[in-house]
Chains A and B, each alone.
Chain A
Amino acid sequence: MHEFSIAANLVEKLSEFIRENPDKKICEIRLEIGELSHIEHEQLRFCYESITKETPLEGSSLEIDKIEAFVECPHCSYRGRPKYWDDILAGAPVVTFQCPACGKTVEETQGKECAIKSIKFSQIEPVPS
């Protein structure tokens, strides 16, 4: 369950932001996760919620944008979406590295992302003394 390590990295990065900005409360985190990464979105969400329970990050929402895979072929100069293996028995079609145009091996150009894209935060009102 490598989603836990990724969620822990995410919390570490967000905690850094909170330490530097103690007057701000993070309410939304937007992640970009590539189609070619092996990260299960729901498991990541579950790990994030478990780690942030009873911390200043509790209740913040995790929005995940899926980044489509793109490939290019060094043999025939094809650039575009990869070829999918539709009848592979899996729940969803699987990306292959077979060139849709010439059948040789392509290289990925997009789709391995696993990054924090942006965060939304609000200003915490100072408690009047």
Chain B
Amino acid sequence: MIKLEASPDEIYDIELEHSLLEANEKLAKENRALLDQHGTTAIDFMGAIGSGKTTLITRLIEKLKDKMGVAVFNGDATTSNDADAIAKQNVPVVQIATINGCHLDANLVGKGLRKIDVDKVKLLFIENIGNLICPAEFPLGSKGRVVVVSVTEGPWMVRKHPHMFLGAQVVVINKIDMAGAMDVSVDDLVNDVHRLKPDIKVIPTSCKTGEGIDEVAAALLAV
């Protein structure tokens, strides 16, 4: 095979300045504009599988559904377990199957918005895929981001996924009723979060005893 390579004076250079995340960002802005137009606040929940995102959302719905319209988008790679659990609350639920995709994106959320009557929804909970890295890069159009960490994930959850917290407004330290059994210090987790971002709201909760749930509801409405 004869291989011919261009010499340096035959190579041309052009500036492109094209953002690779632009397509998603544009759709996220469109989602946000639509939500704002209807007076709807969307909150994106991120956290590992098993951290308690679905149970936390269920507890919040129990508190809020009689006071305002709520709806839920459940991102899940494969199953509909979470959407099924929330559907028992008789609120609109959209199951968004990413089919092995590691994050929700603004396009999928935009499709979800076309499936609900946005006008009737004051607060939209978006449950992201249980992954603490990929979703950070893909804004959805939500007004606030919540990270859910539970003590059963061990003492290093914040330190191992620091980037996720920088973009969040509220952090929930869940399953605090298990802290003793797990020998995990809730205070240490709270301090780790504040070391990354001093003004972030950190709320210890137990979805089992109900501790902290009112405070989370108030924090979401204040975002």
Q: Residue B196 contacts which of A2, A96, A116 (CB distance < 8 angstroms)? A: A96
Please determine whether A13 and B102 come into contact, CB atoms closer than 8 angstroms. Answer: no
Please determine whether A38 and B11 come into contact, CB atoms closer than 8 angstroms. Answer: no
CB nearest neighbor in A for B19: A115
Residues of B within 8 A of A5 (CB): 105
Which of chain A's residues 89-112 have a Cβ closer than 8 Å to chain B? 89-90, 94-99, 103-105
* A-binding segment of B38-46, B120-128, B130-138, B177-185: B130-138
Taken residue by residue from 163 to 204, chain B's Cβ proximity to chain A (1 for < 8 Å, 0 otherwise) reads as 100100000000000000000000000000001111110000
Taken residue by residue from 16 to 27, chain B's Cβ proximity to chain A (1 for < 8 Å, 0 otherwise) reads as 111111010000
B187 to chain A, nearest CB (A): 18
Please determine whether A9 and B23 come into contact, CB atoms closer than 8 angstroms. Answer: yes
Give the complex CA separation of A16 and B196 in angstroms.
41
B198 to chain A, nearest CB (A): 5
* B10 is an interface residue with CB less than 8 A from chain A: yes
Taken residue by residue from 122 to 160, chain B's Cβ proximity to chain A (1 for < 8 Å, 0 otherwise) reads as 000000000001101110000000000000000010011
**With contact pairs A6-B21, A13-B20 given, residues A38 and B163 touching in the complex (Cβ less than 8 Å):** yes
Give the complex CA separation of A96 and B197 in angstroms.
6
Please determine whether B133 and A38 come into contact, CB atoms closer than 8 angstroms. Answer: yes
**With contact pairs A10-B20, A90-B159 given, residues A121 and B11 touching in the complex (Cβ less than 8 Å):** yes
* B14 is an interface residue with CB less than 8 A from chain A: yes
Give the complex CA separation of A97 and B195 in angstroms.
8
Q: Residue B134 contacts which of A2, A88, A116, A117 (CB distance < 8 angstroms)? A: A2
Please determine whether A105 and B198 come into contact, CB atoms closer than 8 angstroms. Answer: yes
Please determine whether B197 and A2 come into contact, CB atoms closer than 8 angstroms. Answer: no
Which of chain A's residues 1-28 have a Cβ closer than 8 Å to chain B? 1-2, 5-6, 9-10, 13, 24, 27-28
Please determine whether A116 and B156 come into contact, CB atoms closer than 8 angstroms. Answer: no
* B6 is an interface residue with CB less than 8 A from chain A: yes
A109 to chain B, nearest CB (A): 14
Residues of A within 8 A of B196 (CB): 85, 94, 96-98
Residues of B within 8 A of A121 (CB): 11-12, 14
Please determine whether A98 and B20 come into contact, CB atoms closer than 8 angstroms. Answer: no
Choose among A13, A94, A95, A97 the residue with the greatest number of B CB atoms under 10 Å from its CB: A97
B20 to chain A, nearest CB (A): 5
Please determine whether A38 and B134 come into contact, CB atoms closer than 8 angstroms. Answer: yes
Residues of A within 8 A of B (CB): 1-2, 5-6, 9-10, 13, 24, 27-28, 31, 36-39, 85, 88-90, 94-99, 103-105, 113-123
24 A–B contacts from the bound complex (CB under 8 Å) = A1-B134, A2-B103, A5-B105, A6-B137, A13-B16, A27-B11, A38-B136, A88-B162, A89-B159, A90-B160, A96-B162, A96-B196, A97-B166, A97-B197, A97-B198, A99-B198, A103-B198, A114-B137, A119-B13, A120-B13, A121-B14, A122-B10, A122-B12, A123-B6
Knowing that A116-B16, A119-B13 touch, tell me 19 more A-B residue pairs with CB under 8 angstroms.
Answer: A1-B134, A2-B103, A2-B133, A2-B138, A9-B20, A38-B134, A85-B162, A85-B196, A90-B160, A94-B162, A95-B162, A96-B166, A96-B196, A97-B198, A103-B198, A104-B198, A115-B17, A118-B15, A123-B10
